[in-house]
Amino acid sequence: MSFLRSIKDRFCPPARSTATTAKERLQIVISNERLKRDQIDFLPNLQMDLVNVIAKYFNVDLDQIKEQIKVDLESNNGQSVLELNITLPDASLDEL
């Protein structure tokens, strides 16, 4: 009898409870949400870095340029796209 039981256990693993399955699925969802949140946390720092770089090369009002820099991160089909929209102040090439 133990021989048959060992064969059965090897090829037919015991059924998992629905609670275990639900717990594993919830852990996956939570880890994905944490990854998304961690990616978004760096965006304000990136925006400030861009403000500082632009201020280095252009004579700008820092408060005004902050409003003219938009940083967005989109995820689609497993790929992330970082979108930057920056409106630079009017400057002629002679000023650069």
Mind listing the pLDDT tens digit for each residue in 27-41? 888 877 777 666 667
pTM for the predicted model, two decimal places: 0.47
Question: Which phi and psi (to 5°) does residue 87 adopt?
Answer: -100, 110
Asked, for residue 30, whether it belongs to a domain, the answer is: yes
Asked, for residue 94, whether it belongs to a domain, the answer is: no
By residue count, the chain amounts to 96
**pLDDT confidence tier of residue 66, bands split at 50, 70 and 90:** confident
Asked, for residue 93, whether it belongs to a domain, the answer is: no
Asked, for residue 27, whether it belongs to a domain, the answer is: yes
The pLDDT assigned to 85 comes to 85
Residue by residue, what is the 3-state secondary structure of 16-74?
Answer: CCHHHHHHHHHHHHHHHHHHHHHHHHCHHHHHHHHHHHHHHHCCCCHHHHHHCEEEEEE
6 backbone φψ class: left, alpha, beta (φ>0; ψ -120 to 50): alpha
- pLDDT > 70? residue 73: yes
**How many domains are contained in the chain?**
1
The pLDDT assigned to 39 comes to 61
Name the residue range of residue 35's domain. 16-86
Tokens encoding 74:
């989109």
The pLDDT assigned to 40 comes to 62
